[in-house]
Amino acid sequence: MKNRKFCKKFFGIALLMIVIFLFIPVIQVLKLPSVIDVFQGDSIHVLSNSNVNAKIDDAVPVFAVEKGIHGLYIDGEKVGEQNVVFNLAGIPIKKSTVRVLKEMKVIPGGQSIGVQLNTLGVLVVGYHQINSTEGKLSPGEAAGIRVGDIISKINGNSITNMNDLTQYLENAQNKNSPLKLTIIRNKETFETDLTPAQDSLDKNFKIGLYVRDSASGIGTLTFIDPISGKYGALGHVISDADTKAPIVVKDGTIYNSTVTSIDKGTDGNPGEKLARFSTGKEKIGTINSNTPFGIFGTLSQKNDLEKSNIALPIALSSQVKKGPAQILTVVDGNKIERFDIEIVNSVPQKIPAIKGIIIKVTDKRLLEKTGGIVQGMSGSPIIQDGKLVGAVTHVFVNDPTSGYGVHIEWMLREAGIDIYKAEKQAG
């Protein structure tokens, strides 16, 4: 009986050892991406199990594989790409391609900026009733137009602002005829007829819609590409205050902005930077796009902004780790300051996605001044180990000391900056 119990215990332990030695490492290897990116001169940790080996296909490798106490590391040595085979006890498990990328440096921002967006067409933000001879009505609502729709054309002609719309209403007053509107809704386009109604009080013809052709606010510059002059800011999309829908941009401008005071954040009540900027002067760049990853364009005064910070290498999402980091932002006037934060979590995303980083403000000065993350801080660069890793994007409403960030590689992609360009040319 004792021998039988001993045997069962022995085989149980042996089976557990087999699982630890074989099964778990195999699962880890199979989860490795098919393409592994590393910058030239960098080293990345790819596996935590030291029982796995790796063999490089080419006799003249562009990278090296090192085994340490924490597992396998890949060191980027030459720009290019090659395959590596991961094996356990000599048995091949998975083949991956390692791309060694040329180091890329951009200038981190931190400046407070004023943002002026011009919409593509005019944006419908609400309805209003008109007192007409036929009773109270909204011709726009009757025509099937919804809040959030964009009026891009009238009678086949492009509409760029509310003045264009006014001219067509004046013509409609003379002709008393319907208008053929081209509407953009959720990236789809359709046409509808709208017949303006005459207001019984002022006798003017109206469409019964509240519309807007521009939006403005403040944010933070994230990075500048010293070669092309392209920039990225905010780290998140700009949405209309009334419709909550992303603003479809025709064009726009960014300006120098001065922070005048801080509305400190508290639990359940996000704070805000209060700032001023003048659209009549201090224009520093154009806005070409408004995307889920921020606003992007080209600077017109690149040299002035380049003096603010020194270019830093960027980090891929797979390189960002938990631990201490800093953000660059302005909380008083125009002075860019560095504040301590903690990266609580970072998801090594394989495809572009927002909210890939969770951060917590640890700097006592910043907590005393702002309470943590406040509106207007969006776009503040996140620096870790001397590299630009991302940007602040959102605050946790119930905990203003914490919030989300976006990985910098996705912002660079949206700006049209190809971090893989050097690798492709070398190949």
**Residues tagged active-site:** 236, 363, 378
For residue 378, what are the contacts with CB-CB under 8 A and spacing of at least 6? Answer: 219, 220, 234, 235, 236, 391, 392, 393, 394
CB atoms near residue 243 (< 10 Å)? 17
Tell me the pairing of strands 197-198 and 205-206: antiparallel
Phi, psi of 124 (to 5 degrees): -85, 120
> Are 156 and 166 a contacting pair, CB within 8 Å?
no
DSSP one-letter string for 383-424: EETTEEEEEEEEEETTEEEEEEEEEHHHHHHHTT--TTHHHH
- Looking from the CA of 97 toward its CB, the CA atoms found within 13 Å total 7
Tokens of 359: 């951060």
Map tokens 């490798």 to a residue.
61
Query: How are strands ordered across the β-sheet holding 71-76?
Result: 43-47, 71-76, 63-68
Distance CA 254, CA 156 (A): 31
Distance CA 150, CA 246 (A): 11
How would you write 325-391 as a 3-class SS string?
EEEEEECCECCEEEEEEEEEEECCCCCCCCCCEEEEECCHHHHHHHCCCCECCCCCEEEECCEEEEE
> Are 375 and 273 a contacting pair, CB within 8 Å?
yes
Map tokens 């409403």 to a residue.
397
The conformation of residue 208, written as its DSSP 8-state character, comes to S
